[in-house]
Structure 1
């Protein structure tokens, strides 16, 4: 039986953005292009339950189904600087035809406002670009995955296919977040801001004139939809559980429709989901939505003020759509990569087969219960022999408001194939179990640390085959923070790999793109009122205790957990003559392990794996 290899990542297909309309079913397929060190994104369609290629250019990741005969998408196939073209592709064969060109880069098509007018969206810079310096005078001045955003705003346009007139709907410092078309009008959330962006945005309507539909005030609108012509807001007040509080369903006047305690969307972590999807969809007189429950995704519907379970799935639902009463979705099954499925008469039918794992060792997650109603999983090493001793790796998820599930996680499967026990869990702070379980504000490094140590103890007790002197620990983002915290509070781990981490909540609060509000919310402290509390929760405070050889992985365009966080821990360890190393990736951001350039993703995993091999074997 073959092992899972690091380079297998280059062969995986990542699906998403499924849309169904007028009998047409189209989705996006992303795959690594090793030669170009990039990703190819192509459009695929489904006919008679068979998957066919629609495009081969490799740059199409967004589209709009025009009718049963054609789709529209934006791109720049002629590589004209600061330009976007609008293409129409016949579903009956032939090449995509350019039907319009705009002197603006990065435009995307939302759909038709009426029979001859399209709505489009793009991000624009309000001032002339400078070649060798940047000016920062507002926050956020950069955003992870977007780079420098100072004086950048997302704007909406309409384009008349007959008159060729392009009209700007939103202008100047107005910034659009989310836009949808309903009944011939364009609805969008956004705000007009300078100096400091607000967390709260109003909902507007454009039908030739702009009007305010909903004033958000102290409520954040996550998304919105129209059900039976009535507006449904998915929003949060943040009153009881802070910024991570799960949203509820409200009407246009912010009257509560139903009190939902779980999240809306897929928060199950994996390094094998590259293409975005949808969390909500309106069908008939119901709003369908994905939610994360414990360690998996379910599909629910909100109808007549009540929420009903529609479909329970043990893995992930990345994107979904309906054709009549048949559900189509892209997701991952247990210990599996993404596929396209349909659900008919209660039966799940797999329609795609690109990600094949025949004659390959894929470790099935074995559940381990610990603490007070907590759950984790263990992957057994390839060719497992109960009479032998093995090294092990504890992997800690990010967030902290995400979850680990039982779907395929490439890095963990690589380590299992290389002869490691791999164990991971969902502790307090994780998603999928309601607001109270999620809420660890002001508690970082306390209950979460204790539960991770309880889990490690339980795994070692359950599997005496693990050599307790050969256990490593790793994690990214919140998992990186926790890795930094662990090595400052125990030397039980033989080595550590801290990725895109937080070391100092005081510096983080003033350098991260989300720092000014996230640090205060999560630690219940500010640098000016009670810096002592921020410092108490900072792993750097305890760096003098570290004895664990530690690898740091960071990216110089990570604006979520900026480079200075990793550098502070690295310097603190080297200053004490503790074995430490940093691998810094240029041009990458916080999402290196998920969406980074293929060669960088391979190098990252090789760095971590080699570090574990060096210290655990």
Structure 2
């Protein structure tokens, strides 16, 4: 069967848009466009668009990573982060063009530029060790032969999937006077500091940090405020909640915050809060609204962006924020008296937004199932006259036939309403039957959505139907739904995905029940492993960056020591028998389904020993299996990993299913 759907190789042709920033006057938007260059590596540059004419100009050039663009308050300059000097540093460039100039030269780089309202000062985030000084400059590193040294630590958290082994640095906030070049450190100690924000008069800075005696064992995050005239720092919250992304109201009397009270640990809904400076009172504006106030939708187009938090209306009486509900991420407004309205909605993922100084326009980035991998739109506050600004992948998509996901609702075994999506194979013909692949998302506290998924389109192009859904544990359906899986992995979630398969088989007569496949990554890899140990319904399976043994996961994962307790409500020390009961490895003797195991060598979230244990257990039993190890890659391979390895990964998945389901 020849089709003209999206192929594996088409990944190289995509452009990935993120971080749109509207100019103060609302006439221009700067955004990041990432592409895969001729060397099969990522390249990110800044692009400028005239919002009225929709004319786009490439603003920065070269094979670099230019990201995090931010306008000066007068609109004359754009500050951004670039690795063009070797390390990631802050640069700026005049809006009317010219050469970019380097602003910072910190030894370990800098990121997250935040400009003061008068444009004269800049706060940046800088990794510093206890021995570092601000004066130490970035140097071109010569490759020298270094003696082998052991890695030594006394920390509980000594590695992370994002950064590898800890280098004992912490993120600190540095204030830079742009007129004199003077640099001053706003934070101290062995703590990480995040999300700085200037007060409207430029005299105060708020930020979030966990500065407790034992940050490795406590998971709250407080809000602090530093007075730039006295250098005095005040703690504004009481160490019993997780708060982040503070934003000052235009009149300077309040802060908006995103956060939660950890009541359901990692499954607690993020909500919108305000802190009143006069009364020191915290109030939650979305406490009566059973919705996650964040974008938690999954896509594989690398279109995530740092959260803007809850952005104030210019009238000081409302906030704008993203929230995830029923498989969509939309832009909402909440007033100070808790009235919530949808500003920009639809069956899609809105993954970033920005507004101009007068809030006459919103620019936002959208991903939508079969039509928009990631593009920019503009609308007014009322959301009534949306215009599409970009169509960066149209040259590719208009030559392709895409499978359009249809969402459907069905009942779980206990009567709970569930949501799923089904995609027909490209080239579908009535009266013929086709194999079906069930995809299971990671998290588990995330959400499949109406966003674009290249991987799903690749499967459809290869002649597979694709089924995906949000089982218990997923976001989008309220607090009780997302919490239901805690303490019940392999229970209610397994029931939900199997009911989805049964529903699809009953309602779509084109599915061949003898040719079913299953795949998933991370938690979805755990579920894949669990499924093949408990049923022979599937004829082939692919497990990715998976968990097979919760006993060893506890000690080897960068989050294992707390994630295990949060999600399973026990630990290796308290109840090792329970962790073994819910470990797929325990059921390896039951596995008959041919299982492809994909894993990254540098995955510290679900370390590769999880794959090794399962592979050896299957291989020793002479069960059909294959083990693919991806070098120099971490847990994020499928979303932001090396492009060439992403291609190999997709080929491995489709070849495995072709061998057993065709």
Question: TM (normalized to structure 2)?
Answer: 0.88
List gaps (5 residues or longer) in structure 2. Answer: 133-145, 276-280
Pick aligned residue for 2:601 from 556, 573, 578: 556
Paired residue secondary structure (1:178): strand
Conserved? CA contact 1:233–1:251, under 8 Å: yes
1:246 corresponds to which residue?
Answer: 269
The answer as to whether partners of 2:291 and 2:325 remain within 8 angstroms in 1 is: yes
Tell me which moved more, 597-606 or 382-391. 382-391
Q: Pick from 217, 221, 237: which aligns with 2:243?
A: 221
In structure 2, C-alpha distance between the alignment counterparts of 1:6 and 1:570, rounded to whole Å: 26
CA contact (8 A) 1:399 1:477 kept: yes
Contact 2:303 2:351 in 1 (8 A): no
Q: Return the alpha-carbon distance in structure 1 between the equivalents of residues 193 and 179 of structure 2.
A: 26
Q: 2:534 aligns with which of 489, 502, 505?
A: 489
Mean Cα deviation higher: 590-599 or 188-197: 188-197
Q: Secondary structure at the match of 1:134?
A: coil
* 1:406-447 alpha-carbon deviations (Å, 9 max, x no partner): 332111111111111111111111111110011111111111
Aligned length: 612
Distance 2:362 2:117 in 1: 27
The offset of 1:261, in angstroms, is: 2.2
Counterparts of 1:138-537 in structure 2, within 5 Å, are 138-183=155-200, 184=202, 185-192=204-211, 196=216, 198-208=218-228, 209-227=231-249, 228-229=251-252, 230-239=254-263, 241-252=264-275, 253-259=281-287, 260-280=289-309, 281-284=311-314, 285=316, 286-306=318-338, 307-323=340-356, 324-336=359-371, 337-344=373-380, 346-356=384-394, 357-371=397-411, 372=415, 373-439=417-483, 440-537=485-582
**In 1: Cα distance, 2:237 partner to 2:646 partner:** 43
CA contact (8 A) 2:8 2:650 kept: yes
1 CA distance for matches of 2:304 and 2:443?
19
**Is the CA contact 2:270–2:294 (under 8 Å) kept in the aligned structure 1?**
no
What are the Cα deviations for residues 523-546 of structure 1, in whole angstroms up to 9, with x where unaligned?
111111122222221111111111
1:321 & 1:452 partners in 2: Cα distance?
37
Q: Distance in 2 between matches of 1:587 and 1:39?
A: 15
After the TM superposition, which of the residue ranges 601-610 and 271-280 deviates more from structure 2?
A: 271-280
| Matches of 2:619 and 2:421, distance apart in 1 | 34
CA contact (8 A) 2:110 2:124 kept: no
What per-residue deviation string (whole Å, max 9, x for no partner) do you get for residues 257-314 of structure 1? 4413211221111111345243532231221001011111121112222222222221
2:34 is equivalent to residue 30 of structure 1: yes
Call closer, same or farther: CA 1:545–1:104 in 2, change over 3 Å: closer
Task: Describe the SS at the equivalent of 1:544.
Answer: helix
RMSD: 2.1
Check whether the contact 1:15–1:275 (CA below 8 A) recurs between aligned residues: no
Task: Report the Cα offset of residue 77 of structure 1.
Answer: 2.4
* Per-residue deviation, 1:476: 0.5
Greater fraction strand: 1
Residues 528 and 102 of structure 1: CA distance in aligned 2, closer, same or farther (over 3 Å): closer
1:124 corresponds to = 128
Aligned match for 2:65, one of 59, 69, 77: 59
TM-score (norm 1): 0.94
Alpha-carbon distance change, 274 to 366 in structure 1, aligned in 2, over 3 angstroms: closer
Contact between 1:16 and 1:277, CA under 8 Å: does it hold in 2? no
Superposition deviation, residue 92 in structure 1:
1.3
- Once the two structures are TM-superposed, the CA of residue 256 in structure 1 deviates from its matched residue by 3.6
What CA deviation, in whole Å up to 9, does each residue of 1:103-152 have, x standing for no partner?
44244422237553321112234469986432222121111122122522
Q: For residues 649 and 537 of structure 2, what CA distance do their matches in structure 1 show?
A: 24
**TM-aligned CA distance change 1:248 to 1:93, over 3 Å:** closer
Query: Is the contact made by 2:435 and 2:465 (CA closer than 8 Å) also made in structure 1?
Result: yes
Structure 2 Cα separation of the partners of residues 162 and 425 of structure 1: 54
Cα distance in structure 2, aligned partners of 1:59 and 1:321: 21
Assess if the C-alpha contact under 8 Å between 2:245 and 2:307 holds in 1: no
Q: What's the secondary structure of 1:610's corresponding residue? A: helix
SS at match of 1:174: coil
Give the 3-state SS of the residue equivalent to 1:101 in structure 2.
coil
Tell me the CA shift for residue 195 of structure 1: 8.0
Unaligned runs of 5+ in 1: none
Q: Secondary structure at the match of 1:249?
A: strand
Q: 8 Å contact 2:486–2:568 — kept in the other structure?
A: yes
Q: Distance in 2 between matches of 1:341 and 1:274?
A: 15
Which residue in the other structure is 2:48 paired with? 45
Structure 1 pair 407–574 and aligned structure 2 pair: CA distance change class (3 A): same
Q: Report the secondary structure of 2:176's partner residue.
A: strand
Worse overlay, 453-462 or 104-113: 104-113
For the pair 1:6 / 2:8, whether they are aligned, the reply is yes
Is the 8 Å Cα contact of residues 113 and 119 (structure 1) preserved in structure 2? no
Distance in 2, matches of 1:220 and 1:364, equals 38
Alpha-carbon distance in 2 for matches of 1:318, 1:130:
45
Deviates more, 1:197-206 or 1:104-113: 104-113
Per mean C-alpha deviation after superposition, the further-off stretch among 167-176 and 490-499 is 167-176
CA 1:216–1:502 in 2, change beyond 3 Å: closer, same or farther? farther
Question: Secondary structure of 2:67's partner?
Answer: coil
Residue-by-residue CA offset, 1:61-81 (whole Å, 9 max, x unaligned) = 1222113222122434243xx
- 1:604 Cα offset (Å): 0.8
Cα distance between partner residues in 2 of 1:550 and 1:496: 5
Match of 1:96 in 2: 100
Residue of structure 1 in register with 2:137 after alignment? none
